């Protein structure tokens, strides 16, 4: 497709509206953050230069802010890793089970897409209620089969278990829908050829479907990584970041610092480093996919 | 293992997993708080409509529903409208800085909303938009505009260039060609982009509640009202939760045949 593009710098005019909006909603706010990140204040709007002080604070694992940041980062990375490891294979499996023809397709798609359209705080409310040890079906059920210590607000393992199951419930559908779209794009000829060769189900999956799904899977993994790395509302509603600090992910910790404690300097440095990490991961994914694309077309 | 029964069975189990928590919420919304706290029952033995009545009779709840719908609508219209020409440019032309610009746009899609909570608060307060639906609608542009550009670019790339050229030869001016010929061709893509903008704006809560206090309170922030001084009003919370699911469910029903396509973002 790229060869058919025409070189014309006037195309910039088409991009101006988007640029204005995104600059307004991205760059201007970021300038404020940058500003706070290098200054300190004594209150009353008196700011003075603080250089890289906040950043040194943040990246030094012996300071309190440094410890907080490291802890939240580690928890967030573990959480992302766990939910990706569960959601990607499960999503692929579900996509293979979606019916191919008839009225069932619509019905199944609607039910699958449902969790994606529930406001994040309602997702949190649903799971908060569902896992309550006294009145929730899952909570009571788990206690009944012997997990007597199950308590989201007091036991870290229970809190993590709940958040992971909740995320799988909430987002596996997205992976499944992506894969379903990818599967639909595979021409019938491939399946016919496989049938002629007498390939079994597993061979069709590993030799045809999985390679063809590679691109959508990369998009799915990127979206899920970013989603889980930015997660805020759902864990905030279910656990509030607790018990203790057990489920204080980066966003929760940052909001606590910025809006709760109004610790502007530290929060600004935190924001920038956090944003930088997501950008780097995003960039690595993009270069990897474009590189892989180039190889494929070569 | 995967016989003819394997797939429907797997699907049924997964759908059960999706629906049980939702059912649980609906079940609780028809109970009184004493009923809820008195123990576990699988269905409401004495169903009541009190929770829904409370919501329907309270002007604050109506207002918050309308606020949410308004900022989602404004955001969807703005995002798709300004994304269209940009997506056309990215799909049809090469120009100075096109690739870095496209990447920079997409990188906004990946920006954690928490990073923007504090600066947005300052920005919208300083220009007098704080606590208005405009603040939320504009704030959500941060991720919805890049998303709309990305989706539309995929769909536009699927339309052959020859169509543009033929129209030009036939003497169409660019705006007339764009509106009369091009837009109908990518109507599906516009629908899908609008659906995704709707969805992400509707479910987002952190920015929506940070940027509003009284006048433009969204439904999500209104739900915190169930956490009152008297303790948690579980029934009310459940009923509000059920009601917020309805617009989404209606929208999915109408676009169900396009959902999968949109998830492929037109590029697969």
What DSSP letter does each residue of B224-245 carry, written as one string? GGGEETTEE-HHHHHHHHHHHH
Which among B96, B109, B114 has the least Cβ separation from residue A9? B96
Question: Confidence class of residue A176 from pLDDT cuts 50, 70 and 90?
Answer: very high
Hey, are the CB atoms on B111 and A255 less than 8 Å from each other?
no
Hey, are the CB atoms on A125 and B257 less than 8 Å from each other?
no
Q: pLDDT at position A294, please? A: 67
Taking CB atoms and an 8 Å cutoff, what residues of chain A touch B76? Answer: none
Give B 155-184 residues with CB within 8 A of chain A: 157, 161
Q: pLDDT at position B268, please? A: 40
Selection from A84, A130, A26 nearest residue A224 by Cα: A84
Cβ of residue B92 closer than 8 Å to a chain A Cβ: yes
Hey, are the CB atoms on B17 and A169 less than 8 Å from each other?
yes
Hey, are the CB atoms on B93 and A182 less than 8 Å from each other?
no
Which among A15, A25, A250 has the least Cβ separation from residue B101? A15
State pTM to two decimals: 0.87
CA B19 from chain centre, in angstroms, equals 20
Q: pLDDT at position A66, please? A: 84
ipTM reported for the complex, 2 dp: 0.83
Q: What share of chain B is helix, strand, coil (3-state, %, to 5)?
A: 75, 0, 20
- Gap between the Cα atoms of A168 and A211, Å rounded: 24
Helices A210-229 and A64-97, axial angle in degrees (round to 10): 150
What value does the mean pLDDT of chain B take? 86
Percent of chain B with pLDDT strictly greater than 90: 29
Look-up of token digits 């600004």: A268
Mean pLDDT of A150-168: 91
Which among A250, A258, A274 has the least Cβ separation from residue B118? A258
Cβ of residue B145 closer than 8 Å to a chain A Cβ: yes
**Bridge partners of residue A40, in order along the sequence:** A48
What does the CA dihedral A25, A30, A35, A38 come to, rounded to 10 degrees?
A: 170
Residue from B84, B110, B150 to probe the interface with A (highest A Cβ count within 10 Å)? B110
CA distance B142 to chain A (A): 6
Q: What count of residues does chain B have?
A: 268
- Reply yes or no on whether the pLDDT at B116 is more than 70: yes
Cβ of residue B116 closer than 8 Å to a chain A Cβ: yes
Q: pLDDT at position B4, please? A: 63
- Reply yes or no on whether the pLDDT at B192 is more than 60: yes
Cβ of residue A298 closer than 8 Å to a chain B Cβ: no
Taking CB atoms and an 8 Å cutoff, what residues of chain B touch A126? Answer: 21-22, 24-25, 241
Mean pLDDT of B148-158: 88
Mean pLDDT is lowest, of A78-87, A260-269, B154-163, for A260-269
């Amino acid at each position: 497709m790229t060869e058919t593009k025409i070189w014309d710098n006037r195309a910039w005019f088409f991009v101006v509206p988007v640029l204005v909006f995104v600059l307004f909603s991205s760059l201007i706010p970021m300038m404020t953050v940058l500003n706070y990140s290098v200054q300190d204040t004594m209150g009353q709007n008196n700011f003075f230069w603080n250089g890289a002080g906040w950043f040194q604070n943040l990246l030094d694992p012996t300071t309190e802010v440094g410890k907080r940041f490291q802890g939240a980062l580690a928890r967030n990375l573990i959480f992302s890793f766990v939910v990706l490891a569960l959601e990607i294979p499960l999503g692929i499996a579900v996509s293979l089970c979606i019916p191919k023809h008839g009225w069932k397709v619509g019905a199944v798609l609607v039910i699958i897409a449902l969790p994606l359209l529930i406001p994040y705080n309602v997702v949190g409310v649903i799971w908060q209620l569902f896992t309550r040890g006294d009145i929730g079906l899952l909570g009571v059920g788990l206690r009944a089969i012997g997990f007597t210590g199950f308590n989201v607000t007091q036991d870290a393992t229970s809190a993590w278990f709940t958040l992971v199951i909740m995320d799988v419930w909430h987002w596996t559908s997205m992976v499944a829908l992506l894969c379903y779209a990818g599967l639909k794009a595979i021409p019938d000829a491939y399946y016919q050829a496989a049938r002629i060769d007498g390939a079994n189900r597993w061979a069709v999956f590993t030799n045809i479907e999985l390679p063809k799904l590679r691109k959508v899977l990369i998009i799915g993994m990127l979206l899920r990584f970013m989603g889980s790395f930015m997660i805020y509302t759902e864990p905030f509603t279910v656990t509030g970041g607790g018990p203790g600090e057990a489920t204080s992910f980066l966003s929760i910790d940052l909001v606590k610092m910025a809006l709760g404690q109004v610790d502007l300097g530290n929060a600004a440095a935190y924001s920038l480093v956090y944003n930088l990490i997501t950008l780097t991961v995003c960039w690595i994914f993009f270069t990897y996919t474009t590189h892989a694309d180039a190889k494929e077309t070569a | 293992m995967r016989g003819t029964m394997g797939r429907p069975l797997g699907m049924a189990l997964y759908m059960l997993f999706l629906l049980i928590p939702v059912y649980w919420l609906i079940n609780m919304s028809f109970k009184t708080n004493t009923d809820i706290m008195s123990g576990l029952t699988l269905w409401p033995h004495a169903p009541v409509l009190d929770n829904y009545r409370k919501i329907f009779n309270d002007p604050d709840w109506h207002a918050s529903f309308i606020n949410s719908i308004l900022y989602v609508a404004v955001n969807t219209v703005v995002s798709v409208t300004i994304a269209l020409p940009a997506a056309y440019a990215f799909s049809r032309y090469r120009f100075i800085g096109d690739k870095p610009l496209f990447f920079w746009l997409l990188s906004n899609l990946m920006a954690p909303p928490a990073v923007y909570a504090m600066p947005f608060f300052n920005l919208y307060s300083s220009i007098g938009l704080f606590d208005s639906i405009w603040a939320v609608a504009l704030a959500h542009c941060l991720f919805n505009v890049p998303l709309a550009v990305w989706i539309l670019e995929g769909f536009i790339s699927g339309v052959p260039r020859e169509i543009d050229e033929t129209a030009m030869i036939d003497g169409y001016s660019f705006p007339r060609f764009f509106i009369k010929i091009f837009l109908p061709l990518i109507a599906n893509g516009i629908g899908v982009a609008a659906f995704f903008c709707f969805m992400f704006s509707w479910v987002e809560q952190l920015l929506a509640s940070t940027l509003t206090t009284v006048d433009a309170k969204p439904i999500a922030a209104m739900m915190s009202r169930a956490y009152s001084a008297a303790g948690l009003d579980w029934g009310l919370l459940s009923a509000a939760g059920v009601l917020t699911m309805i617009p989404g469910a209606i929208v999915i029903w109408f676009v169900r045949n396009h959902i999968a396509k949109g998830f492929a973002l037109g590029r697969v």
